[in-house]
Structure 1
Amino acid sequence: MAPTRPSEEKAYRKYFIPLESNPEVFTELVHKLGVSESLCYQDVFSLDDPDLLAFIPRPAYALVLVFPTTEAYEARCEQEEARTGPYEGHGESEPVVWYKQTIYNACGLYALLHGISNGAARDHISPRSIMSNVLEAGIPLKPDDRGLVLEDSKELEEAYASVASKGDTQAPADPKDVVDFHYIAYVKASNGHLYQLDGDRRGPIDLGELSSEEDVLSETCLEVIRGLIREDKTGSVNFSLMALVPGND
């Protein structure tokens, strides 16, 4: 999805076809970007059923939540951001790597990038890969300039384009079409804190410290997601969750 809040209207230089919420598509893309084939995405079919959760390999390195945007959600975002200034984090001391969304309809890509740029998932990125190059160029920079690293990466754009039309549903014909679903990521960062990462917000959202035994499928993170779902008063069931987890080499 593209940013929709009136106070955050932006001009875009690039427009991407949105990614389908599909573990196979996300897995193919992260492998093209240089993440080891030892990691993959899997659907999380329940936030509450311990038997279904037990099927998911651990540790879970990152989550991608897909949900319908509503006026209530947008209003809450505006209220929260009225109390915060723009994020200016950069450099190796930055506890979490955050990317400001500057490519229209690419929130799925930003959620994916947030997941593999942080925590233990980052250790699975191959040297001299597309993602390694993005991190090397982007980490020293403040958010506006870091965003340009993503925009200007032809390798990233080509890898994305090679999978964007895949999946079980037909992709929009026009990348400028408005999409009513949004993607955000949850990661356990290098400082042990749980972060919600959304390139459409003003910066990363620190949700507090996790214990050394907790990953992003811990009860702490699951309850955050349950709260977001409860907040949706439309009765929509169009929420989906994917986890970045160990897979087969």
Structure 2
Amino acid sequence: MNGDGPEPKRHWRKHFLPLESNPDVFTELIHKLGMSDSLSFQDVYSLDDPELLALIPRPAHALVLVFPTTRAYEKRVVDEDARLTEYVGCGDGEGVVFFKQTINNACGLYAILHGICNGSARALMGDEALMASLLKACTPLKPDERGLALEDSKELEEAYASVASKGDTAPPENPEVDVDYHYICFVKSQQNGHLYQMDGMRKRPLDLGPLSTEEDVLSDACLRVIRDMIASEQGANLGFNLMALVSE
């Protein structure tokens, strides 16, 4: 079973070492991509305890969720995607900038890219940043071309490789071995104010509906989606971990 997404069989041209679900590792990578030093990732320790949620600086720019994949999850995604049309958006009019995942075991990277290229974090991207250059080049491109542009970026690969082996857990020796967990991102679009679930392994971004001006991704509308994902596992999958992208 391929833990990096819902498709059990897929041929990849490029393989990365998977990222550890570690706020320090994720924070180091976004800084290498040229995001403001004021940005960081923090663990979210509860989905419903007001006191623990109050520890997270607001507004939260994006959420990154990691979870072990199961056959039930993969079947559910395949069934849901069968009812969706393939995403074909491009250009400055997109509700969100969507990157199709074309690199094996790099779902953590794609979650980060979706988090920093959309929502309020994008305003904290330096003009000379590596990510600013990539975003400028990728925005006009169709999804398949956009995916290849990221895949072919040596600068992005070098930035990623510099942090991929860090963390508390040793990465697999062979990057071609699939891992049994997956990252997705939740972000509030600055174009239309809607909440989106972003997963480069899916057919398209999932529009989860509008948020009010005052609401961010730590609002109950988003946390309810995550609670439902956990509940759908019926206690069989307790390996969920959530990180928030915040300004300090």
Instruction: Please give the per-residue CA displacement for 1:107-142, whole angstroms capped at 9, x wherever unaligned.
Output: 000000000000111000011211001100001011
The number of residues matched between the two structures is: 245
Matched, 1:138 2:138: yes
Distance 1:33 1:158 in 2: 10
Deviation at 1:233, TM superposition (A): 2.6
Q: CA deviation at 1:234?
A: 4.7
| Structure 1 match to 2:25 | 25
1:181 partnered with 2:181? yes
Q: What does residue 7 of structure 2 align with? A: 5
CA distance in 1, matches of 2:164, 2:61: 23
Q: 1:63-212 residue pairs with structure 2 within 5 A? A: 63-190=63-190, 191-212=192-213
Return the alpha-carbon distance in structure 2 between the equivalents of residues 46 and 115 of structure 1: 20
Deviation at residue 82 of structure 1 after TM alignment: 1.0
Q: Whole-Å Cα distance in 2 between the matches of residues 11 and 74 of structure 1?
A: 17
The amino acid of 1:224's aligned partner reads V
Q: TM-score w.r.t. structure 1 length?
A: 0.96
For structure 2, the 5+ residue unaligned runs are none
Aligned residue in 1 for 2:57:
57
CA distance in structure 1 between the partners assigned to 2:182 and 2:218 by the alignment: 20
CA distance in 1, matches of 2:189, 2:228: 21
Residue pair 2:199, 2:205 contacting (<8 A) in 1 also: yes
Q: Is the contact between residue 17 and residue 105 of structure 2 (CA under 8 Å) also seen in structure 1?
A: yes
AA aligned to 1:185 is C
Identity of aligned residues (%): 62
Partner of residue 240, structure 1: 241
Q: Distance in 2 between matches of 1:3 and 1:185?
A: 13
CA RMSD of aligned residues (A): 1.0
The AA in structure 1 aligned to 2:163 is V
Deviations 1:183-232 (A, max 9, x none): 00000012100000000000100000000000000011000000000001
1:201 maps to amino acid: R
For the residue of structure 2 that corresponds to 1:185, the secondary structure is: strand
SS at match of 1:95: coil
Q: Deviations over 1:121-168 (max 9, x none)?
A: 100001121100110000101110000111111110000000000001
Structure 1 unmatched runs, 5+: none
Task: Provide the residue aligned with 1:216 in structure 2.
Answer: 217
Tell me what 1:15 maps to. Answer: 15
Q: How far has the Cα of 1:4 moved from its partner?
A: 4.3
Matched, 1:39 2:29: no
Q: Secondary structure at the match of 1:19?
A: coil
Structure 2 counterpart SS, 1:65: strand
Structure 1 residue 21, shift from structure 2 partner: 0.3
Q: Distance in 2 between matches of 1:2 and 1:18?
A: 9
CA deviations over 1:49-68 (Å, ceiling 9, x no partner): 10000010000000000011
SS at match of 2:182: strand
What TM-score results when the alignment is normalised by the length of structure 2? 0.96
One-letter amino acid of the counterpart of residue 209, structure 2: G
